[in-house]
Amino acid sequence: MYLYNSATHKKEEFIPRDPQLVKMYTCGPTVYHYAHIGNLRSYIMEDVLEKTIRYLGYPVKRVMNITDVGHLASDADTGEDKMLKGAKREHKTVMEIAKFYTDAFFADCDKLNIKRPDVVEPATNCIGEYIHIIEVLLEKGYAYQAGGNVYFDTSKLDKYYIFNDHDQEDLAVGVREGVEEDENKRNKNDFVLWFTKSKFEDQALKWDSPWGVGYPGWHIECSGISMKHLGEYLDLHCGGIDNAFPHHTNEIAQSEGYLGHKWCSYWFHVHHLNTTSGKMSKSKGEFLTVSLLEQKGYDPLVYRLFCLQSHYRRNLVFSYENLDNAVVTYGKLIAKIAALKPNSGEAVEKEAFDSLQEKFKAALGNDLNTSLAITAVYDVLKAKTNDATKLALLADFDQVLGLDLLSKAERKRKELVAAPKSSAFTILSESGESDPEIEAMIQARQDAKKAKDFAEADRLRDALKAAGVELTDIPGGVRWKRS
């Protein structure tokens, strides 16, 4: 398998240190609010990565943190702790907020078929680990105390910038527009390992430490949690692209300063989901969550498919129009699979199975090309082989894709069988195509008419018209065509 490694800026063959156990770490959510679908794009693609590695035969141990302390409003260690902000907003304690949004995050993950990592560790569980790392960093001269806080001294490193070769001044955290400089820092990029004194004295969660009562910085959490569960060497570290700097850059600085050797071999960064008006945000515009999509009638797995259709190293633009295209694609895909005969008693044709599976593996093995992997699904449907082979391949691919292809098709099959019994209403398309979404809307219009809700029936006809679908009422049903 080849993966683009952000640390070396090239595609490299993925070779874990121990093929018997791939060690994988993922930056988890900051649980002060719901995850937006941009955050979830990162988690979907990381899920596909983990499942691909397992599919290719490597056992994986994957660890994820839950950030419930220390992530400040600005990544440059200034502003209020995001958790405290969330608690104030909802008049709850920080721990109540953390529990509520951690549960909400995993509920979203379930809906999107994102597997829960093997280890999920809240940052507040590992204070002892961070204190130990900071003590060693102080001993080794990589850290210093100033103004009550403990800082990492970035001038002690031969190379600080790992992920980009840009102008150092542009990247320096302290000089970003709108960010106040911390007078205690010796160098602009130095970052806080342990806070005792800050402008926000009302920090809810504090712990005793050799440097006074305080709390850890955000970056040290991921190093501490990763090393606690995965040891001194990490194969693969994942996160959204905005985490590359300063968060991951600082993780490398402190981990390698502490360990005295290289820490992580491969860095996987998922690029952003943007809206048509720019960066996705929890405060600006419509706050796009999985629940919101559900309220609007979208199946969360349509969003998963939408993400899989594009490469993780490209920015992806979200719009309802783009999502509607994924609705149509998903519906057609399920309808095609529903048309295959299950339990036909035929034997799986090994040669066809192997060659089609090879295409799927090749797509994923080429820097996780998920859109080509979806093309491999269509190749299966078009292939000259029996339905038993096709269904076996689709079940196999879905271990990675996580689109519930077979169970959704089974449901569709049952609906098709049940439909004529419940009503004698026929839906035909002029082109002979079948489209579950359109058919569902036509059926809903029919139901509304039956219930004498003519306003709703007209609304549905208009909605279909706006989507480019024209209806003609025929005896016992409706015929539709695309205009």
Residues of the shown chain interacting with ligand AMP in the complex, contacts defined by CB under 6 A: 27, 29-30, 38-39, 41-42, 67, 239-240, 242-243, 270, 272-273, 280
Q: Give least dist CB 222 to Zn ion, A.
A: 3
Separation between Cα atoms, residue 174 and residue 181, nearest integer Å = 5
DSSP annotation string for 5-41: ETTTTEEEE---S-TT-EEEEE---BTTSPPPHHHHH
Compare residues 271 and 413 and give the one whose CB is closer to ligand AMP: 271
Q: Which does 242 bind (CB under 5 to 8 A by kind): Zn ion, ligand AMP, none?
A: ligand AMP
Compare residues 252 and 448 and give the one whose CB is closer to Zn ion: 252
Compare residues 243 and 385 and give the one whose CB is closer to ligand AMP: 243
Structure tokens at 237: 């570290």
Structure tokens at 54: 């397992």
Compare residues 123 and 393 and give the one whose CB is closer to Zn ion: 123
**Element housing 60 (H / E):** strand 60-66
Binding mask 186-225 for Zn ion (x = CB under 5 A): ------------------------------------x---
Q: Which does 30 bind (CB under 5 to 8 A by kind): Zn ion, ligand AMP, none?
A: ligand AMP
**Element housing 236 (H / E):** strand 234-240
Q: What is the three-class DSSP state of 127?
A: helix
b/e for 222-254, b at 16 or more Cβ within 10 A?
A: bbbbbbbbbeebbbbbbbbbbbbbbbbbbbbbb
Q: Please list every residue from 218 through 277 that binds Zn ion, using CB under 5 A.
A: 222
Q: Give least dist CB 38 to ligand AMP, A.
A: 3
Separation between Cα atoms, residue 233 and residue 262, nearest integer Å = 8
Q: Which does 222 bind (CB under 5 to 8 A by kind): Zn ion, ligand AMP, none?
A: Zn ion
Residue 12: strand pairing partners: 3
Q: Positive or negative, the Cα torsion across 44, 45, 49, 55? A: positive
Compare residues 267 and 480 and give the one whose CB is closer to ligand AMP: 267
Q: Give least dist CB 357 to ligand AMP, A.
A: 30
Q: Give least dist CB 162 to ligand AMP, A.
A: 16
Q: Which does 249 bind (CB under 5 to 8 A by kind): Zn ion, ligand AMP, none?
A: none
* 289 to 68, 300, 334, 379, 437: CA distances (angstroms): 20, 10, 25, 33, 22
* 88 to 6, 29, 78, 454: CA distances (angstroms): 37, 19, 18, 47
Compare residues 66 and 394 and give the one whose CB is closer to ligand AMP: 66
Q: Which does 413 bind (CB under 5 to 8 A by kind): ligand AMP, Zn ion, none?
A: none
Q: Give least dist CB 167 to Zn ion, A.
A: 25
Q: Which does 29 bind (CB under 5 to 8 A by kind): ligand AMP, Zn ion, none?
A: ligand AMP
Q: Give least dist CB 290 to ligand AMP, A.
A: 14
Q: How many CB atoms lie within 10 A of CB 458?
A: 13
Q: Positive or negative, the Cα torsion across 201, 204, 210, 216? A: negative
Choice from 3, 27, 97, 150 touching Zn ion (CB under 5 A): 27
Residue nearest to ligand AMP (CB): 240
**Terminal-to-terminal C-alpha distance of the chain:** 45
Compare residues 27 and 127 and give the one whose CB is closer to ligand AMP: 27
Compare residues 279 and 414 and give the one whose CB is closer to ligand AMP: 279
Binding mask 431-470 for Zn ion (x = CB under 5 A): ----------------------------------------
Q: Where does this chain bind Zn ion (CB under 5 A)?
A: 27, 222
